[in-house]
Amino acid sequence: MLARALEARGIAVLRTREPGGTDGAEQLRALLLAPGADWTPLAEMLLHFAARAEHVDRAIRPALAAGHWVVCDRFTDSTLAYQGYGQGADLAAIRALGVMIGLAPDRTIVLDIPEHVRTARLAARPGGLDRYELLSPPFHARVREGFRAIAAGEPERCVLIRGDGDEAAVHAAVLRAIERE
């Protein structure tokens, strides 16, 4: 919705996701999200950064160089929240790898929803669940608290938005956050 709203304003947008966004990164995404995969937190963190390095160099940097906005579903903060806060990978190592990537978002939107809303939305969605979606409620509580901590620690970049409202209200809040400068 955000990408469409920006395009309607005449802004060129690359809409992408992580892990993924390029052929190589999509191959790593398939490995990371496959139900039954059992990575150590360090290996999983490094796989996410391998996918991110491909994504940044082959898709994001060229789009930015061409003057496009980039709307990316997840980035380094997600690795910090999922692998760091959720799985116990070293937070300093994740941050150091983020610095090595050499690119940070201008604005990060964190959609915050309680566990019961997450569970209900997943149950209503068609298709199977990926490996992360199958993880325990305590894991998801740690991830949620991680995202909240990241947003609180960088309020100039991160905007925490309640994501449990109706779609139009959440979208309006996202647009307001993007326009905030």
Q: If you search the block for the tokens 């209200």, which residue do you land on?
A: 169
Q: Provide the pLDDT for residue 128.
A: 84
Residue 114 sits in a domain of what CATH number? Answer: 3.40.50.300
Q: Provide the pLDDT for residue 181.
A: 55
Amino acid identity of residue 40, one-letter, is T
d(CA 69, CA 62) in angstroms, rounded, equals 11
State how many domains the chain has: 1
What is the model's pTM?
0.94
Q: Provide the pLDDT for residue 44.
A: 96
Q: Provide the pLDDT for residue 29.
A: 96
**What share of the chain in percent tops pLDDT 70?**
99
Beta bridge partners of residue 162, listed in sequence order: 112
Strand, helix or coil for residue 133: coil
pLDDT of 118-172, one tens digit each? Answer: 989 898 888 888 999 999 999 999 999 999 999 999 999 999 999 998 999 999 9
* Dihedral sign (CA 136, 35, 49, 112): negative
Task: Supply the range of the domain harboring residue 71.
Answer: 2-179
Contact between 167 and 120 (Cβ < 8 Å): no
pLDDT of 75-134, one tens digit each? Answer: 999 999 999 999 999 999 999 999 999 999 999 999 999 989 998 989 888 888 899 999
pLDDT of 140-149, one tens digit each? Answer: 999 999 999 9
Strands (E), the chain: 13-17, 69-73, 108-112, 158-162
Q: If you search the block for the tokens 């940097």, which residue do you land on?
A: 61
